[in-house]
């Protein structure tokens, strides 16, 4: 793969990662509520989910999901339902003046598993990769090295972007000084999760 092609893909991957989505909402919400250190596990979880999509695309299953209305619909509704449930939980989350008790009540492993499901149940990621990867792969060259380069680039870019979101969100959490503000933020992020779920539900195969 030439440097020019890789740079073009790098720019595309950056735009893809910065675009608002369920992973972005998950990172910002965790950063504000649980802080930077505990949110690292959720970032890793997001990348595990993304890596699963990349592997599926690499072995050809991504094309099947993209072309099969039934498979797409199943994944779409599972993802939509999961995000809506997360949104409802966030809405019902107790507003707290001190974030420390809440941080202690949720384990890093739970945030890790939750983040995996957030990305794993998002069919838009796999459809995007199915549509994008062929544009940067040279058929005459070995495909495995090219897929590895594209996959690693995608994961590294997304990890850096999510780290930026978590860092910013964790710093902003220091300005939260009332239960009213915390409760409003919980409802905002809950609505964003529900909105992501609604967008998934309205997606077309």
pLDDT given for residue 101 in this prediction: 46
Least confident among 4-13, 96-105, 163-172: 96-105
C-alpha distances (whole Å) from 112 to each of 46, 82, 147 are 8, 15, 26
Total domains in the chain come to 1
Residue 103 resides in a domain: yes
CA distance 2 to 4: 5
pLDDT in tens, 179-202: 666 677 677 777 877 776 776 666
pLDDT exceeds cutoff 60 at 82: yes
Residue 101 resides in a domain: yes
Residue 6 resides in a domain: no
**Whole-model pTM over 0.75:** no
The average pLDDT across 86-90 equals 77
Element (H, E) at 186: helix 179-202
Residue 58 resides in a domain: yes
Residue 70 resides in a domain: yes
Residue 13 resides in a domain: no
Are 56 and 126 contacting, i.e. CB atoms less than 8 angstroms apart?
A: yes
Residue 151 resides in a domain: yes
pLDDT in tens, 42-80: 899 999 998 988 888 877 755 665 677 676 667 667 767
pLDDT given for residue 97 in this prediction: 44
Task: Write out the residue range of the structural domain in which residue 62 sits.
Answer: 22-202
Residue 158 resides in a domain: yes
pLDDT given for residue 205 in this prediction: 45
């Amino acid at each position: 793969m030439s440097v020019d092609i890789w740079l073009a893909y790098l720019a595309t991957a950056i735009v893809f990662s910065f675009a608002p989505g369920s992973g972005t909402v998950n990172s910002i919400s965790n950063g504000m509520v649980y802080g930077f250190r505990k949110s690292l596990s959720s970032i890793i979880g997001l990348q595990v989910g993304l890596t699963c999509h990349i592997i599926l695309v690499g072995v050809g299953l991504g094309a099947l999901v993209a072309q099969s209305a039934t498979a797409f619909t199943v994944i779409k509704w599972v993802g939509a339902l999961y995000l809506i449930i997360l949104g409802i939980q966030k809405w019902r989350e107790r507003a707290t003046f001190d974030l420390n008790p809440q941080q202690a009540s949720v384990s890093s492993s739970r945030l890790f598993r939750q983040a995996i499901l957030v990305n794993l149940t998002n069919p838009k990621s796999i459809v995007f990769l199915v549509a994008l990867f062929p544009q940067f792969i040279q058929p005459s060259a070995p495909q495995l090295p090219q897929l590895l380069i594209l996959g690693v680039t995608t994961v590294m870019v997304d990890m850096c972007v999510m780290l930026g979101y978590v860092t910013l969100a964790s710093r902003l959490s220091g300005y939260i000084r009332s239960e009213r503000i915390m409760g409003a933020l919980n409802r905002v992020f809950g609505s964003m999760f529900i909105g992501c779920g609604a967008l998934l539900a309205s997606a077309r195969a």
